[in-house]
Amino acid sequence: MNQETYALITGASSGIGECFAHALAARTRSLVLAARSKEKLESLAQELSSRHGVRAVPLVSDLSVPGAATALAEKLRAQQISVDLLINNAGFGGRAEFWDLPPERVSQMLRLNVQAVVELTHLLLPHMIERRAGAIINVSSTSSFQPVPYTAVYAATKAFVTSFSMSLAEETRPYGIRVVTLCPGGTRTNFFVAGNYRKRTLPGGLQAPEEVVAAALAALDRGGGLVVPRFMNKLSVFAQRLMPRWAVVRIAAQLFRP
């Protein structure tokens, strides 16, 4: 008998993570929803189950805490949940001069944006390799393509995620694992408020999170790859290659200066 498989979404209670949950439930995928908010997770799980008839398992997890990724994997094993799609979406940023960021806030950002991504992938990937089937979507950012003063730690963590994810895609390709490296630009979520970013005026406005998710899932259906949703974001990433590195950093500093 084939074991039922699940998609695990971190940071599932809002924003891009919640949109992934709705989109995958519409595809009748069984889901594991991981985030810090018990009430939001349980409400979302109930809504998805009622609307789409899928199984949605809420698992409370704060992945910015040391050992949280291992604890989450142990919960999955205890419930005999097999994950064949891992969406590393949880993450946060912060806009300030580096020395003004509280040290624990910096540590939490590193643990959530980097360490949790690596640990969860390391814990769940071997089963996919063994089955020669599975997929990973790592949510990075257009900030990963250049240094960004005044959000230096966040941009550096996303540079790690993009590099790690694209390298992993090539390593796992012979085993039939699809890896999507998703690099959205400004998106309509609570990211800007929570991270103390000022309101951004972008051509065409901020992206809808549904647009970002649709681009990621389309790439997944094609077999994976690097995804930069929206033409203006693609153009910005390409243009940076033609400019001196110092100029790119100066322009980023003007955009993000507190």
Task: Cite the active site residues.
Answer: 154
Amino acid at 117: V
90 vs 112: CA distance, rounded Å:
7
114 vs 85: CA distance, rounded Å:
19
| φ, ψ dihedrals at 135, nearest 5° | -155, 155
184 vs 228: CA distance, rounded Å:
6
| Residue in the structure block whose two tokens are 């000022």 | 198
Q: How many CB atoms lie within 10 A of CB 5?
A: 17
DSSP one-letter string for 79-141: TTPEEEEEEE-------S-GGGS-HHHHHHHHIIIIIHHHHHHHHHHHHHHHHT-EEEEEE--
Check: CB of residue 9 under 8 Å from CB of residue 32.
Answer: yes
* Per-residue tokens: 139: 């949510």
Please choose, from the candidates 165, 76, 91, the residue with its C-alpha nearest in 3D space to the C-alpha of residue 127: 76
